[in-house]
Amino acid sequence: MRTLRELGEEGWIALLKSRFPSGGDVLAGIGDDCAAVRLPRGAGRKVLLLKTDAVVEGVHFDRRATPFQIGWKAMARPLSDIAAMAGQPRWALVTAALRGNMAARFAREVYQGMTAAAKSFGVAIVGGETVRTAGPFWFSVALIGEVDRRHLRLRSAARIGDAILVTGALGGSIHGKHLTFVPRIAEARWLVEHAPIRAMIDLSDGLARDLGHICRASGVGARLEAPTIPMAPASAGSLHRALNDGEDYELLFTVPASAVRRLRAGWRRKFPVLPLTQIGRIVRGSRITLADAQGNTRPLNESGYDHFRKEP
CATH number, domain containing residue 130: 3.30.1330.10
Do 162 and 113 belong to one domain? no
pLDDT tens-digit profile, the chain (312 residues): 566 466 565 665 565 566 555 666 566 666 665 667 666 565 568 888 999 999 999 999 998 999 999 999 999 999 999 999 999 998 888 899 988 888 889 989 999 999 999 999 999 888 888 888 999 999 999 999 999 989 999 999 999 999 999 999 999 999 999 999 999 999 999 999 999 999 999 999 999 999 999 999 999 999 999 999 999 999 999 999 999 999 999 999 999 999 999 999 999 999 999 999 999 999 999 999 999 999 999 999 876 544 445 543
Do 164 and 290 belong to one domain? yes
b vs e for 11-39, b when ≥16 Cβ sit within 10 Å of the residue's Cβ? ebeeeeeeeeebeeeebbbbbbbbbbbee
CATH number, domain containing residue 191: 3.90.650.10
CA dist 32 and 59 (Å) reads 22
Structural domain includes residue 310: no
Do 278 and 172 belong to one domain? yes
Do 78 and 115 belong to one domain? yes
Domain closes at, from 85, 119, 151: 151
CA 29 to each of CA 37, 105, 113, 284: distance values in angstroms, whole numbers, following the listed order? 8, 38, 29, 26
Handedness of CA 171, 71, 309, 223 (dihedral sign): negative
Structural domain includes residue 21: no
Structural domain includes residue 22: no
Do 105 and 170 belong to one domain? no
CA dist 308 and 11 (Å) reads 10
Do 244 and 172 belong to one domain? yes
Structural domain includes residue 179: yes
Q: Is 36 left (phi over 0), alpha (psi -120 to 50) or beta?
A: beta
Do 173 and 235 belong to one domain? yes
Quote the number of domains for the chain: 2
Q: Is 165 left (phi over 0), alpha (psi -120 to 50) or beta?
A: beta
Do 163 and 84 belong to one domain? no
Domain, as residue range, for 110: 32-151
Domain closes at, from 120, 151, 182: 151
**Residues forming beta bridges with residue 288, ordered by sequence position:** 222
Do 167 and 288 belong to one domain? yes
